[in-house]
């Protein structure tokens, strides 16, 4: 069993309207890209740490090829279903957690 977590940390904005660097709130597209880029890297790391090849993972999930698993892992546009990411993580011995972090109204207004 793998006992070290693979942290998935995304942008977190303080709720008081300030940021550590006073940088503007990233756009939705930027946040989405970073999320899917980071989750893909974490799923690769989980699979490798579990000693599972892309081909083996594809067969564990269904009748998917190695190239399909590679596409999932490199998905930067958000086409992978979140349920699939949960399933991949679980099959590799991990539980995928998603946290919602509130963004203050002031920051949302600054971003628009």
One digit per residue, the tens of pLDDT, for the chain of length 112 reads 445 555 544 343 444 444 444 566 777 777 777 877 788 899 999 999 999 999 999 999 999 999 999 999 988 666 788 899 999 999 999 999 888 888 788 777 776 6
- pLDDT for 98 equals 84
Q: d(Cα 20, Cα 9) in Å, to the nearest integer?
A: 16
- pLDDT for 7 equals 52
3-state secondary structure of 106: helix
For 28-111, which CATH class?
mainly alpha
List CB contacts of 85: < 8 A, sequence separation 6 or more. 39, 43, 96
């Amino acid at each position: 069993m793998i006992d070290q977590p693979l942290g998935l940390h995304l942008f977190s904005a303080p709720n008081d309207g300030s940021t550590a660097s006073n940088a503007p709130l990233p756009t939705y597209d930027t946040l989405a890209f970073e999320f899917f880029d980071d989750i893909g890297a974490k799923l690769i790391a989980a699979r490798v740490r579990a000693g599972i090849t892309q081909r083996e993972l594809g067969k564990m999930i269904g009748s998917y090829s190695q190239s399909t698993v590679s596409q999932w892992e490199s998905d930067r546009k958000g086409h992978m279903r979140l349920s699939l990411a949960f399933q991949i993580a679980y099959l590799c011995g991990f539980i995928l957690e998603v946290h919602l972090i509130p963004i203050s109204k002031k920051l949302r207004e600054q971003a628009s």
